[in-house]
Amino acid sequence: MGMDTNPNPITFIPDVRAGTVVDPGRPHHTKVLSAPGVRVVVLTFEAGYVLREHTTPAMLLLQVLDGRVRITAADQVTELAPGGLLRLDAALPHTVEALEESRLMLTRVGTP
């Protein structure tokens, strides 16, 4: 699935999981949507993969589409499963660990 940069006032994506694949040994990302002030990406991880501590310049909203991940940020550990939502402030160092094969939807809010 290519990234949607449609200038229309409404964007509908029937399945944000379409086109996502698991790459052994590394995360895979699929760009889903980019519009003024927001960017949506689906990250896929094999079970056991750890995305080492990093930061993002924008506020993040994290939602697991399937699987389960553990997110560590600000000395807090959160296990995120489908149906849950986690918000992280901009520039907050965090790690992501896939407890199972997982797809994680990441929404960057406030991106140019």
Single-letter residue type at 56: T
Calculate the average pLDDT of the chain.
92
Give the pLDDT confidence score for residue 8 in this predicted structure.
78
| Cα within 13 Å of Cα(107), Cβ side | 14
Using CA atoms, how far apart are residues 100 and 48, in angstroms rounded to an integer? 7
Tokens of residue 80, six digits: 């995120």
- Give every residue of the chain whose pLDDT is below 50, as ranges: 1
**Comparing C-alpha atoms, which of 108, 102, 100, 89 is closest to residue 37?**
108
Domains of the chain: 28-109 (2.60.120.10)
Number of separate helices (H) and strands (E) present in the chain: 0, 9
Give the pLDDT confidence score for residue 59 in this predicted structure.
97
Give the pLDDT confidence score for residue 1 in this predicted structure.
46
DSSP 91: T
Give the pLDDT confidence score for residue 9 in this predicted structure.
87
Give the pLDDT confidence score for residue 80 in this predicted structure.
98
